């Protein structure tokens, strides 16, 4: 089971390495990790997706709270939150497939951000399931490159 954790941390060098080291030392695998500055330049928000049972999640949160650079840890399990992920993907196209790819992009409310004679670069945002769905729909055309940001999340209200 995947768990989404949000951690507010000091925005200074070495914090990411310490947190990644904590996960590595304990044998926890990170499915995705996204970090960015908050409205306060001195604080960053890390959104970490971890796979494991409730015991693993509890252990992860306890270990994170022990780190000096960590201000607050929030586990979104059972809570109301919104999450998004951004992907950029380059898909093969030609005169015959271009219209089909455009229809898929429109259905998913994605954007074409670059077009070349034999490819299109697409930007899409959404939940994990939406992002996975557009990737699955575009696979038959030939995905040349793919970049994912990892999930970002914030509590509702």
Q: What is the pLDDT of residues 47-89, one digit of tens each?
A: 999 888 888 788 888 989 999 999 999 999 889 999 999 999 9
Largest CA distance in the chain: 57
The per-residue pLDDT for 46 is 96
The per-residue pLDDT for 24 is 85
The per-residue pLDDT for 25 is 83
HSE, CB side, 13 Å, CA atoms: give it for residue 11. 11
Backbone angles phi and psi of 110, in degrees to 5: -90, 180
Q: What is the pTM of this model?
A: 0.85
Query: For residues 70 and 64, is the Cβ–Cβ distance under 8 A?
Result: yes
Query: For residues 89 and 133, is the Cβ–Cβ distance under 8 A?
Result: no
Which segments of the chain have a pLDDT < 50? none
């Amino acid at each position: 089971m995947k768990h989404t954790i949000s951690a507010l941390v000091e925005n200074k060098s070495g914090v990411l390495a310490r947190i990644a080291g904590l996960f590595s030392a304990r044998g926890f695998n990170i499915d995705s990790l996204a970090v960015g500055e908050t409205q306060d330049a001195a604080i960053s928000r890390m959104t970490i997706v971890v796979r494991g049972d409730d015991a693993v999640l509890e252990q992860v949160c306890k270990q994170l709270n022990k780190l000096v650079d960590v201000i607050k840890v929030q586990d979104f399990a059972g809570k109301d939150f919104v999450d998004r992920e951004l992907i950029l993907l380059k898909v093969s196209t030609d005169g015959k497939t271009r219209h089909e790819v455009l229809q898929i992009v429109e259905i998913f409310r994605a954007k074409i951000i670059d077009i070349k004679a034999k490819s299109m670069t697409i930007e899409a945002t959404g939940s994990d399931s939406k992002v996975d769905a557009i990737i699955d729909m575009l696979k038959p055309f030939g995905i040349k490159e793919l970049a994912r940001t990892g999930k970002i999340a914030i509590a509702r209200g």
